Amino acid sequence: MWLVITVGILTFTYLVLGHAGIKRTERERSSLTIPKKLPLVSIIIPTYRSEKTIESTLKSIKSLRYPRKEIIVVNEYPDRTPEIARKYTSKVYHSKERTGKPNSLNLALTKARGDILFFLDSDTSVMPDTLSRMVPWFSKKDVAAVMPKYLVRNDRNDLARLAGVENAFTFALIKMNMFFGSLIGFRGCGIAIRRSVIKRLGGWPNTLLEDNDLAARIAKKGMKIQWEPLSIIKTTEPPDRKRLRNQKIRWGKGSFFSYAHHWKFYMKAPQFLLFFFPYLLLSIFMIDTLLIGTVMSLIYDAPMFFAFVIYQILLAFLAMLLHSVIMVWSTGDRRDPLEIFEFVFFYFPLTTYYYFRGLIKGIRKKKRKEPELSFKYWQ
C-alpha cells in the first residue's frame, strides 16, 4: 500500500509543479516583444536515406508564415534526396561518405547566415505558425534555445501511436521542468538555437546523443532552454520493433555518455533529480520484489511467496497506470485509458528494456575506450 501512496504523492507533486510551470511560461510569453525587423532563420535539415520523407518536410517549410528564412540540406546517402531538395532550395550539400549527424549539422553551420538556427529532422513537418511562435522568445537575452511541442506524424501506425502516449507523458514532465525556468534537455527532431550560442560552444558535440549533450552544455552555462507548447511540429516515430529497438538502444548509450560528461551538473539539477530518482527507486523496488519473492518461493517451496510477489507487481503496475492516465490527461491529451493501459503494460517495459541494454552497451564501450559516435543503431 505504501507504494500506491508514494505514486500518489509523486503524481500530485508533478501536477502542481507542472501547472506552475505552464503559468510561468504564459506570463513570460505575454511580455515578449516582436522586433520590427524579423531575424533571419536558417532551417537546417540533415538527411540520410531521406528520399521518401524529405519532400513532405520541405513542403511544410514552404508553408511557414515566416518571411525571413533560408533552407539548408546536408545529405549523406547516395539516393534522390539532393535532387528532391533542390526543387525547394539551392543550398544542398552532399557528402560522399558518412560522417554522422553532428558533422552534417556543423557543416551546415558554416553555410548558414541566420541569427537563429532551426534544426529539423528530415522526417519532421512544421505547422504554418511554428517559427512565428518560437522566434519571439529570442527577444529575451537569456534564452539560448526554444523547443516546440512535437506530435506523431505517422500516428496511424500502432507502435507510433504508443510513442505518442510516451510523448504526452513527457510533456507533463517538461511542464514540471519549466517551473524551474528552463529545460535541461531537448529532442533534436526540431530545435531552434541562437547562432551566437552554438558558435560559442564550439558547435554540435561529436557524440551519439548530440542533442542531449548540447542541451547540457547550454544549461551549464546558465542559459535558458525554453519550451513553447503552442509551436507544433510532427515527427515520424519508429513504426516497427526493429527501428524502435535501435532508437532506444542508441538513446540509452547516448544518455550514458551525456551523463558521464555532465554528471556533476545533472546531480545538482532539480529537473533531473525529480524525474530520475523517483522512477529509478520504483523500478528497483519492482525488480527486487520479483527476485526476492521468486528465490523465497524456491527455497521454501511455498507458492504463496510468488503469489504475493505477483500481487505486489500488479499493484505497482495499476498504480503506474493511474499515474500515467493522470499525467497524460494533464497535458490536454484525452487518450483512451485502454491505449494508456497498452503503453504501461507493453510499450513502457519494452522500451525500458531496450534503453537499459543501451546503457550497458555504453558502459562497455567506455571501458573499451571506443569512439562514442557509431552508426550501428542509426536507422
**Which among 275, 321, 295 is positioned nearest to 14, based on CA atoms?**
275
Cell numbers at 363, concatenated? 558502459
What are the pLDDT tens digits along the chain (379 aa)? 667 788 888 899 999 999 999 999 999 999 998 888 899 999 999 999 999 999 999 999 999 999 999 999 999 999 999 999 999 999 999 887 888 899 999 999 999 999 999 999 999 999 999 999 999 999 999 999 999 999 999 999 999 999 999 999 999 999 999 999 999 999 999 999 999 999 999 999 998 899 999 999 999 999 999 999 999 999 999 999 999 999 999 999 999 999 999 999 999 999 999 888 777 777 777 666 667 666 766 666 666 666 777 777 777 788 889 999 999 999 999 899 999 999 998 999 899 999 999 999 999 988 888 877 776 655 5
Task: Please report whether residue 119 resides in a domain.
Answer: yes
- pLDDT at residue 301, as a whole number: 60
Task: Please report whether residue 284 resides in a domain.
Answer: no
Q: Which helix (H) or strand (E) holds 197?
A: helix 195-200
Task: Please report whether residue 157 resides in a domain.
Answer: yes
Task: Please report whether residue 92 resides in a domain.
Answer: yes
Task: Please report whether residue 342 resides in a domain.
Answer: no
> Is residue 193 a contact partner of residue 112, using CB atoms and an 8 Å limit?
no
Task: Please report whether residue 353 resides in a domain.
Answer: no
Task: Please report whether residue 245 resides in a domain.
Answer: no
Q: Which domain holds residue 46?
A: 14-239
Q: Which residue has the cell 547562432?
A: 195
Longest dimension (CA), the chain: 78
Whole-prediction pTM: 0.91
> Is residue 193 a contact partner of residue 119, using CB atoms and an 8 Å limit?
yes
The number of folded domains in the chain is: 1
**Which among 278, 53, 240 is positioned nearest to 161, based on CA atoms?**
240
Instruction: Identify the bridge partners of residue 225 per DSSP, sorted by sequence position.
Output: 145
E runs forming strands in 19-160:
41-47, 69-75, 91-94, 116-120, 124-126, 143-152
Q: Which residue has the cell 551525456?
A: 258
Task: Please report whether residue 99 resides in a domain.
Answer: yes
We report the CATH number of the domain holding residue 137 as 3.90.550.10
